[in-house]
Amino acid sequence: MARRKKIYEGKAKTLYEGPEPGTIVQYFKDDATAFNAEKRATIEGKGVLNNMLSEYFMLGLTNIGIPNHFIKRLNMREQLVRACEIVPLEVIVRNYAAGSMAKRLGIEEGMQLPRPVVEYCLKDDKLGDPLVTEEHIAAFGWASQQDMDDILSLALRVNDFLSGVMYGVGIRLVDFKIEIGRVYDGDYQRLIVADEISPDSCRLWDIETGQKLDKDVFRRDLGSLTDAYTEVARRLGVMPKANVSASKPTLIN
């Protein structure tokens, strides 16, 4: 890898300065963390799969006119993205009850919600990303009212897109998290979808069997995370050219 300036190292990705001003290289690591990084592992091939899958989803968003940071994939683990100021919120959209919402409200996991529910968490690892209301967001100035209108609209559009794409390959989009970036075009600022969209940040269940195909496989020790993500990639036709998991040599006649 060429020598370049590291800007930030997160749990699953490292960001480097891009080749042009206003660009960033996102490197997808094989590291997995859960429960606010209390549980950690290195999962061979995860970074490659998330790089390919995030490219696939971001390109899909671009194609239907949902602004996002993706510029192009550079190689198996890296993509070039537009630099932006990340709004310090995790934007969660839920279609079915699961995870922290099921726990907090005492609802059975898997119950379909009467309508998509959007939640906001403050991005702060030390505090464990606490749930916050729009009152907190306005009072502390994390985003303006106009930003919140735009964020809600982006979140629901991404939900419709992702739900449809997943439904087409027999997968239920239970919930997901996105992050939003602020970009400036002269004096004008606008919001775009940033970070990543991958099975690390979504809950994906097979519609027929209910099998989990997302990071809950790691959180709850349900088997091979690489196999689960590979299955999502295979169904979407997004298979990395090189095999990400070790496979036996095949005999060529």
- What's the distance, Cα to Cα, between the start and end of the chain in Å? 38
What is the Cα–Cα distance from 165 to 58, expressed in whole angstroms? Answer: 12
Q: Using the rule CB under 6 A, give the single segment among 75-83, 97-105, 133-141, 230-238 that binds ligand UDP.
A: 97-105
Residues 6+ apart with CB under 8 A from 169: 235, 236
Nearer to ligand UDP, 18 or 68 (CB): 68
Q: Does 172 bind ligand UDP (CB under 6 A)?
A: no
Distance CA 97, CA 19 (A): 42
The H-assigned helical ranges of the chain are 46-63, 99-105, 134-139, 145-168, 216-219, 225-236
Asked if 92 interacts with ligand UDP (CB under 6 A), we say yes
For ligand UDP, give the closer residue by CB, 6 or 39: 39
Among 67, 88, 99, 240, binds ligand UDP (CB under 6 A): 99
Q: Which 20-49 residues touch ligand UDP, going by CB under 6 A? A: none
Structure tokens at 127: 């505090």
| Least separation in angstroms between CB 215 and ligand UDP | 5
* Nearest residue (CB) to ligand UDP, 18 versus 233: 233
Provide the 10 A C-beta neighbour count for residue 8: 10
- Any contact of residue 90 with ligand UDP (CB under 6 A)? yes
Residues lying near ligand UDP in the complex (CB under 6 A) are found at 90, 92, 98-101, 129, 175-177, 201-203, 215
